[in-house]
Amino acid sequence: MPTVQDYNRFAEDLAKLLLLRTAPIALKMLEKESDVPAQALRPKRDLGEHLTLCQAFSLVRRQGKTVAMLKEDHWCVWPVIALGLGECNEQCVEEVHDKLFIKDPDVGREVFLKLFPRLEYGKYAGLLLAPLQTASFIPDVVLVYANPFQVRSLLWVPRYHTGTIDDCAFEVEFSCVFATVPVLQTGKFRATFPDPGEYERAFSDEEEMILSFPGSKTEEIVAGLKYFEEIKFGYRNLAKVMKYDFPRPQFYDDLFKMWGLDRGEIWKR
């Protein structure tokens, strides 16, 4: 089983092989408050303010912070519900079922009750986040913010091993929730687009996606990325090849003939 130091090295490999702009994030669920490391930032205690979970992600991947998010540190309802930190009773359902950006509120209610991922209420006290490269713990989940081509390279790995990427699901809303909770529940890959709140308040870039996966798969992913690098199909190996003297429309050739210039192949479209 990989050690903490191995995971730190995996982070270096991910950053190098994919040319990542920000650090991969290590996430660990905490069962009790006493599990929080002394050096971790506690937003309410240390800042006198609160964070959304996506803002905590941003501090970790951009500034290298280690952040613990317990119930009192949150400023957004969705992760409080999804992580089982706040009870989602009937009043909670009534408050949120028509806030899902779904036209029919009845459909919204059904979607929330059946599809919105939630951990068991009261099971966890919170979660711990750190850059994977400096984390002092073995992660339950790793989150990589990447451009679509980097995500493609990451998803090549499970496809290489199994022949499919059917285990990867996609989501466009509640990015902090869908990038984490389903991975904890199913052990499968997750590709998530940063949602409007994350774009506006946590500085995600327009070209970014989130690829998240169980921490236990990190070694396999790094090994797969190294394999593709060796056969010259890694992210850093791929390059567009420019074709000179490409086929052109007939009138290009006609004008070049008139000007005494070289002519070439006529495209067939």
Tell me if residue 201 falls in helix, strand or coil.
Answer: helix
Q: Give per-residue pLDDT as tens, 91-107.
A: 999 999 999 999 999 99
Name the band, by pLDDT with cuts 50, 70 and 90, for residue 169. Answer: confident
Retrieve residue 47's tokens: 């800042």
Angstrom distance (rounded) from CA 96 to CA 78: 9
pTM, full prediction:
0.92
- Residue 68 has a CB neighbour count (10 Å cut-off) of 25
Angstrom distance (rounded) from CA 46 to CA 107: 41
pLDDT of residue 68: 99
- Evaluate if residue 167 carries a pLDDT over 70: no
Cβ proximity of 105 and 32 under 8 Å: no
Q: Give per-residue pLDDT as tens, 198-229.
A: 999 999 999 999 999 999 999 999 999 999 99
Cβ proximity of 192 and 179 under 8 Å: yes
Angstrom distance (rounded) from CA 102 to CA 266: 50
Task: For 129-149, give one letter per residue: b (16+ CB within 10 A) or e.
Answer: bbbbbebebbbbbbbbbbbee
Angstrom distance (rounded) from CA 264 to CA 246: 8
Strands 209-214 and 190-192, by their bridges, are antiparallel
- Cα–chain-centroid distance for residue 226? 20
| Closest of 75, 79, 167, 69 to residue 116, by C-alpha | 79
- Residue 256 has a CB neighbour count (10 Å cut-off) of 14
> Mean pLDDT across the stretch 130-140?
99
Residue ranges covered by each domain of the chain: 4-230, 239-269
